[in-house]
Amino acid sequence: MIIIYKPYELEINMKSSVIARGAEAIITKQGSIITKNRIEKSYRHPQLDIKIRKLRTRSEAKILEKAIKIIPTPKVIGSDETRNTIELEYIPGKKLAESLEKTNFKKVCKKIGNNLAKIHDNNIIHGDLTTSNMILNEKENKVYFIDYGLGFQSSRIEDKAVDLHLIKQALEAKHPTIYQEAFKSVIEGYKKQSKTAKQVISQLEKVERRGRYKAQY
């Protein structure tokens, strides 16, 4: 089979190794640097596609630069809106999606809740909270949040509640044997740190009720 690469893909394959390929981007690693390259979407009008990728690249870089001052987050080495790339430091460790059950998961999940409360108190919404977007660095005893590609800034309690709902769904889907205790620990960590925990958790219950209602009809 012959594979035809676009110019930017050829450059990626020649200089670095692809470590992940998602719907929005190709993630590569070269030495201690991770590069996120937002790929073209053929179903979008070319000019609209360029605009969307540029805006999302700019937004993610800004959120990352803000988040790193608050919780463990990869440092931004550089970003290029013309190439739709963000360069980040490589974080050694294991993705929690593959390792959570092998850890002291209650302690780790409290750290997750604590991290989430901190960024929420600074009006950062992650937008894609799954254990695939968290790295446990056991040497540093830290949980890093990665991939803020769907992130945004908001002070709305609803948005913060939806973030919590996302991690609950992710735990149930990926870690069904421990998810109830795991999410309970997330909430414990969140309550301990968050300035608006009571309001957010109350709104979370409303979000879940809406979800159950929709599932019935």
Environment class of 133 (CB within 10 Å of its CB; exposed 0-12, middle 13-18, buried 19+): buried
Q: Given pLDDT bands bounded at 50, 70 and 90, which one contains residue 6? A: very low
Name 8's Cβ contacts closer than 8 Å, sequence gap at least 6.
37, 83
89, 108, 142 - which closes a domain: 89
103 and 171 in a common domain: yes
pLDDT score at 24: 87
pLDDT score at 215: 53
209 and 103 in a common domain: yes
Residue 111 lies in a domain: yes
Q: Is 49 a catalytic residue?
A: no
Residue 48 lies in a domain: yes
Which CATH number fits the domain that encloses residue 83?
A: 3.30.200.20
Under DSSP, is residue 17 helix (H, G, I), strand (E, B) or coil?
Answer: strand
164 and 123 in a common domain: yes
Query: Mean pLDDT score of the chain, rounded to an integer?
Result: 91
pLDDT score at 23: 82
191 and 123 in a common domain: yes
53 and 81 in a common domain: yes
The answer to whether 168 touches 125, Cβ cutoff 8 Å, is: no
Task: Work out the average pLDDT over 110-139.
Answer: 97
Catalytic residue among 121, 128, 147, 159: 128
Residue 167 lies in a domain: yes
How much is the pTM?
0.88
pLDDT digits (tens, 9 = 90+) for 130-179: 999 999 999 999 999 999 999 999 999 999 999 999 999 999 999 999 99
**What is the span of the domain harbouring residue 114?**
94-216
For the cut 80, the answer to whether the pLDDT of residue 183 exceeds it is yes
Q: How many domains does the chain have?
A: 2
pLDDT score at 15: 63
pLDDT score at 9: 45
pLDDT digits (tens, 9 = 90+) for 9-58: 434 444 679 988 888 899 999 999 999 999 999 899 999 999 999 999 99
pLDDT score at 212: 65
pLDDT score at 83: 93
Output the CA torsion 144→141→65→82 (10° steps): -50
Which CATH number fits the domain that encloses residue 199?
A: 1.10.510.10
212 and 184 in a common domain: yes
